[in-house]
């Protein structure tokens, strides 16, 4: 026995019902052709958001590393020290910057290629 929820709402227009039926038909025909297909959904916003978040994080990390590099250079100049510790830290930061740059290039190639 069908309850009151199974009945169509009074305010539903024929055009809206037709659109819902067409959408369901499209999804069912896609499933008939490709059984592993999923119903059509708008995911472009989520993909763009992830790419923007990733870009913002990479830019923030790059800015942080550049600030650290400037700080260590300033410390080195101020102390007139060519001590191994300061040089080691500067080399580590330079290595992080080069890794970040190569990671950005790989991400860019993936976006352009795929």
pLDDT per residue over 64-113, tens digit each? 888 888 887 777 776 665 566 777 777 888 888 888 888 888 888 887 77
Mean pLDDT over each residue of the chain, to the nearest integer: 69
pLDDT-derived band at 58, boundaries 50, 70, 90: confident
Residues 6+ positions from 75 with CB-CB distance below 8 Å: 86
- Whole-structure pTM value: 0.33
Give me the residue spans of the domains in the chain: 44-113
pLDDT tens figures, 4-18: 555 555 555 666 776
């Amino acid at each position: 026995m069908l309850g009151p929820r199974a009945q169509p709402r009074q305010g539903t227009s024929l055009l809206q019902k037709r659109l819902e039926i067409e959408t369901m038909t499209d999804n069912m025909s896609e499933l008939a052709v490709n059984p592993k297909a999923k119903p059509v959904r708008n995911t472009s916003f989520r993909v763009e958001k992830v790419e923007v978040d990733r870009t913002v994080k990479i830019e923030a990390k790059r800015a942080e590393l550049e600030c650290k590099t400037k700080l260590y250079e300033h410390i080195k100049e101020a102390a007139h020290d060519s001590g191994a510790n300061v040089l080691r830290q500067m080399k580590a930061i330079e290595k992080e910057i080069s890794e970040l740059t190569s990671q950005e290039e790989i991400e860019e190639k993936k976006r352009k290629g795929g």
